Amino acid sequence: MNTLFELYQNLGITLSALVIVTFLMAGMVKGVIGLGLPTVAMGLLGLAMLPTQAAALLIIPATVTNVWQLVAGGELRALVRRLWPMQLMIFVGTGLGTWWLGMGSGPSMTRALGGALLLYVLSGLFLPPLRISAKWEPWLGPFCGVITGVISSATGVFVIPAVPYLQGLGLNRNQLVQALGMSFTTSTLALAIGLFWRGALGGGEMGASLLALIPAMLGMMFGQWLRQRISAVLFKRVFFIGMGLLALHLLIG
């Protein structure tokens, strides 16, 4: 039991409250639009703690919510056959990034996180939807997997370029939700292995991450309720604007 609360005791009341609020918000965003939990968590927690600490906290909430998203829909077998090269290369890219870059604690890594978030925001707000030809998939999928892995190993953000790529495949709504869940699950597990290898994911961090699952799940359930009552397009636009301001703060802070 001490292991569960050890990290929060070290963080203190204020930062522990920030963790709870962050995962409530991150879960809510994921419940409404189907993605964004690691992005919101890394962005907000990155304001007050080291990126490695923030990444360790999100491992269990991200894994559980992504697996939940992955198994719902009934298209898993076909998606695995289609997307396994990309998933494999996410592991390769994360391994290379962990060995080459790591997730440092200096201002350069904070700015890298801000840069990754800003790229995600700009692509979401201004780029038209991609249309990826089937003949490009055999090489473009693995390439996007490697780049996604390298970026996530340095910043804890899984969305660039995986999300625009998956959105460009012409999948139906259920397939896209499952494909995103698959990609995020792979990225989370690969990141967890990288953090463990670097000694940043031990019993204390896993216990703290387990407790962070509670507000994340509550936020996700509220987000799913909210999704039925507001425009998802409006919510997504407000989300991108807020994340853009956060990214700019990380870049210039």
- % of the chain beyond a pLDDT of 70: 91
Please say whether the beta carbons of 157 and 121 come within 8 A.
no
- % of the chain beyond a pLDDT of 90: 28
Does residue 1 have a pLDDT over 50?
no
At 20-37, the pLDDT tens digits run: 999 999 999 888 877 788
d(CA 13, CA 202): 22
- Choose the weakest-confidence range: 82-96, 157-171, 233-247: 233-247
pLDDT band at 89 (very low <50, low <70, confident <90, very high): very high
d(CA 53, CA 73): 33
> Residues 6 or more apart from 226 whose CB is under 8 A from it?
28, 31, 32, 235
Note the pLDDT of residue 253. 62
Top pLDDT among 208 and 82 is at 82
User: Domain ranges in the chain?
Assistant: 2-252
At 126-176, the pLDDT tens digits run: 877 778 988 999 999 999 999 999 988 888 888 888 988 998 998 887 788
Q: Alpha helix locations (H) across 101-227?
A: 107-126, 137-155, 162-167, 173-197, 203-227
- Choose the weakest-confidence range: 7-11, 158-162, 231-235, 238-242: 7-11
Top pLDDT among 92 and 248 is at 92
Note the pLDDT of residue 131. 87
Does residue 3 have a pLDDT over 90?
no
Note the pLDDT of residue 93. 94
Note the pLDDT of residue 9. 60
